Structure 1
Amino acid sequence: MAAMPTLLIVHHTPSPTMQAMLEAVLVGARDDAIEGVDVVVRPALAATAVDVLAADGYVLGTPANIGYMSGALKHFFDQIYYPCLDATVGRPYALFVHGNNDTTGAVRAVESIATGLRWKRLRAPVTVIGTPDVKDREACWELGASTAASLML
Structure 2
Amino acid sequence: MSNKRLLIVAHAPSENTRKLVEAVLQGASHSDIEQVEALWRPPLEAVPEDVLQADAIILGTTENLGYMSGALKDFFDRCYYPVLEKKQGLPCALYIRAGMDGTGTRRAIESIVTGLRWQWVQDPLILKGEWQESFADQAYDLGLYVAAGLDNSIF
Q: Does the TM-score normalized on the shorter chain lie above 0.5?
A: yes
Q: Distance in 2 between matches of 1:132 and 1:27?
A: 19
Instruction: Give deviations 1:102-121, integer Å, cap 9, x for gaps.
Output: 21111111111111100000
Gaps in structure 1 of 5+ consecutive residues: none
8 Å contact kept, 1:49–1:79: yes
Aligned position for 1:99: 98
Q: Distance in 2 between matches of 1:136 and 1:130?
A: 11
Change (3 A) 1:131 1:24: farther
Partner-residue secondary structure (3-state), 1:47? coil
Aligned position for 1:17: 16
Aligned position for 1:86: 85
Bigger mean CA offset, 115-124 vs 96-105: 96-105
Identity percentage of aligned residues? 45
Please state if 1:27 is matched with 2:31: no
Deviation of 1:134 (Å)? 4.0
CA RMSD across the alignment = 1.3
Partner-residue secondary structure (3-state), 1:81? helix
Deviation of 1:77 (Å)? 0.5
Instruction: Give deviations 1:49-108, integer Å, cap 9, x for gaps.
Output: 000000010001000000100010000001111110011111100111112122111111
Divergent runs of 4+, >6 A:
none
Amino acid at match of 2:115: G
Partner-residue secondary structure (3-state), 2:150? coil
Superposition pairs for residues 8-87 of structure 1, below 5 Å?
A: 8-87=7-86
Q: Distance in 2 between matches of 1:79 and 1:37?
A: 26
Aligned position for 2:148: 149
Q: Distance in 1 between matches of 2:70 and 2:24?
A: 21
Gaps in structure 2 of 5+ consecutive residues: none
8 Å contact kept, 1:64–1:98: yes
Amino acid at match of 1:49: P
8 Å contact kept, 2:2–2:35: no
Q: Distance in 2 between matches of 1:4 and 1:71?
A: 32
8 Å contact kept, 2:88–2:117: yes
Deviation of 1:20 (Å)? 1.6
